[in-house]
Amino acid sequence: MDGTSKREIGPGFGRRDLLRGAVALPFAQALGGRAAAFGADDGDRRPTGMIGRQRDPENLEFPFSALDTRRLLTPNEQFYVRTHFEVPEIGAKTWNLKVEGEVERPFELSYDELRRMPSQTVTALLECSGNGRVFLEPPQVGIRWELGAVGTAEWKGVPLAAVLERAGVKPNAVEVILEGADKGEFKEPNPRTPGVIPYARSLPLAKAKAPEVLLAYEMNGEPLPPRHGHPVRAVVAGWYGMASVKWLKRIVVTDRTFDGYFQTFMYTTWDSRHGLPTIVPVTEIQVKAQVARPAPYEVVPKGEPYRIYGAAWAGGSDVAKVEVSTDGGQSWTVAKLIGEPVTYAWRFWEHEWRTPERAGPHVIMARATDSRGRVQPMERDHDRRDAVISHVLPIEIEVR
């Protein structure tokens, strides 16, 4: 998946490597293997601490073990980057947005005009729907994200609803296609694209009109950085990252569903309707907790206090509870939620652990429940293919 002909860096590590390490090898050796997995051939470390997962186009992961629970927002330089094609260079002065299709008044909008419209600020988490893919068993093709294809930022912009309002959506409209200015061609794996195509995704009209969907021009108080969609991107709060189209160029309102590449051949899951499996585009973020520390394969001192912590999120609903297990899922303790809930953002959590007196391998887990009562699943649902990885991810560590 991630249908790209471009080079990926390094093998990363997968469940299979983890299991091989934990079961077949003495732990020291497993750690040796892990050092290789995390070393030069597993993504290159950038000065900002970001891990390179792919070059040309550049894909960068935040080292999740570096999560700082004192600040809600991820600094722009540490916000993961997911790009399918080369980053297009667009100046704010030359940028314009076409709004067309099933609308009464098609129009074009300049950057200055957009900036003069009433703005909104939304604090929202973006998570790539492939975040955690390296943990999938059997291994899936695609960028080998560990835990860091996720971040929270404060986005400022104009509600998409206001732009649609100005255009006058016709009654027969059902979807809104967002088209990026970036384009390219995938020659492999299957299927190839029909020549050069732009990045594009659609939203059902109801979501497009929702107040949490912005055409954003600022990220954490700065103009959008080039990699994150300069000068204007969509931010579809509550949905996985693929919906938040960067370098926005055109909005097309349509009277039928859009079956573009990025919502049929990528970013889709199987759903069963009337007993018939059907492919559906990935939408809402699922409830999920991730452990930042200990990091996978971390060596933790025995018989000492240790702060287990991380983040949890649930799209548009609040995180109600995070539970932690230090014995591979046999018993669970409720963790402390840090700070106040911020809708669409993540919530940090922590748990004071007294590490065991006896040395040995341990498995740490975290499991979230949201205010709608959705509980994070323990097992992977294979109908989700290579996307929407929200089941509990076991973190194997060594107490020494």
Ligand X SMILES: Nc1nc2c(c(=O)[nH]1)N[C@H]1C(S)=C(S)[C@@H](COP(=O)(O)O)O[C@H]1N2
User: Which parts of this chain interact with ligand X (CB under 6 A)?
Assistant: 79-84, 126, 128, 180, 182, 199, 228, 241-242, 244-247
Judged by beta carbon distances under 5 to 8 A according to partner kind, the member of Mo ion, ligand X, none in contact with residue 84 is ligand X
Angle at CA of residue 178, ends 172 and 183, nearest 5°: 140
How far apart (Å, rounded) are the C-alpha atoms in residues 324 and 335? 6
Binding mask 70-89 for Mo ion (x = CB under 5 A): ------------x-------
Taking the C-alpha atoms of residue 225 and residue 348, their distance in angstroms, rounded to an integer, is: 26
Q: How far is the CB of 4 from ligand X (least distance, A)?
A: 10
Tokens of 197: 């195509």
- Binding partner at 80 among Mo ion, ligand X, none, C-beta below 5 to 8 Å by kind: ligand X
- Considering beta carbons, is residue 128 or 181 the nearer one to Mo ion? 128
Nearer to Mo ion, 235 or 365 (CB): 235
Residue 246 or 293: the one with the smaller Cβ distance to ligand X is 246
Q: Is-contact 400 300, C-beta < 8 A?
A: yes
SS (HEC) of 65-131: HHCCCCCCCCCHHHCCECCCCCCCCCCCCCCEEEEEECECCCEEEEHHHHHHCCCEEEEEEEECCCC
Contact 318, 345 (CB under 8 A): no
Q: How many residues does the chain have?
A: 400
Closest approach, Cβ 215 to ligand X, in A, equals 13
Query: Does 128 interact with Mo ion (rule: CB under 5 A)?
Result: yes
Residue 151 makes contact with Mo ion by CB under 5 A: no
Residues near Mo ion (CB under 5 A), total: 4
Is the CB of 3 or the CB of 294 nearer to ligand X? 3
Q: Could you say which of Mo ion, ligand X, none residue 247 binds, taking C-beta under 5 to 8 angstroms by partner kind?
A: ligand X
Structure tokens that stand for 11 in this block:
């093998």
For residue 81, the partner it binds in ligand X, Mo ion, none, with Cβ less than 5 to 8 A by kind, is ligand X
Paired tokens of 57 = 């186009």
306 contact choice in Mo ion, ligand X, none (CB below 5 to 8 Å, kind-dependent): none
- Specify the residue, 14 or 241, whose C-beta has the smaller distance to Mo ion: 241
Q: How many CA atoms lie within 13 A of 83 on its CB side?
A: 25
Q: What is the largest CA-CA distance in the chain?
A: 71
User: Smallest distance, Å, CB 150 to ligand X?
Assistant: 9
Based on CB atoms, which residue is closest to Mo ion, 12 or 294? Answer: 12
The item of Mo ion, ligand X, none sharing an interface with residue 326, based on CB under 5 to 8 Å by kind, is none
Q: Which does 135 bind (CB under 5 to 8 A by kind): Mo ion, ligand X, none?
A: none
Nearer to Mo ion, 241 or 281 (CB): 241
Q: Which is nearer to ligand X, 10 or 260 (CB)?
A: 260
Rounded to the nearest whole angstrom, what is the least distance from the CB of residue 255 to ligand X in the complex?
Answer: 24
Q: Which does 182 bind (CB under 5 to 8 A by kind): Mo ion, ligand X, none?
A: ligand X
Query: Minimum distance from CB of 54 to ligand X (Å)?
Result: 12
Asked if 241 is part of the footprint of Mo ion (rule: CB under 5 A), the reply reads yes
> Residue 354: enclosing H or E segment and its boundaries?
strand 347-354
Looking at beta carbons, which pairs linking 184-189 to residues 24 or more positions away fall under 8 Å?
184/57, 184/84, 184/85, 184/86, 186/3, 186/4, 186/5, 187/5, 188/3, 188/5, 189/1, 189/3, 189/141
Alpha-carbon torsion (200, 205, 207, 209), positive or negative: positive
> What would the two tokens of residue 87 be?
């980053």
In whole angstroms, how close is the CB of 200 to ligand X at the nearest point? 8
Least Å distance between CB 84 and Mo ion?
Answer: 9
Can you say how many angstroms the Cα of residue 78 is from the centroid of all Cα atoms in its chain? 13
Nearest approach, Cβ of residue 254 and Mo ion (Å): 23
The closest alpha carbon to 48, from 71, 77, 70, belongs to 77
Q: Of the two residues 147 and 399, which places its CB atom closer to Mo ion in the complex?
A: 147
Choose from ligand X, Mo ion, none: what does 155 bind? Cβ within 5-8 Å by kind: none
Give the binding site for Mo ion (CB under 5 A).
82, 128, 241-242
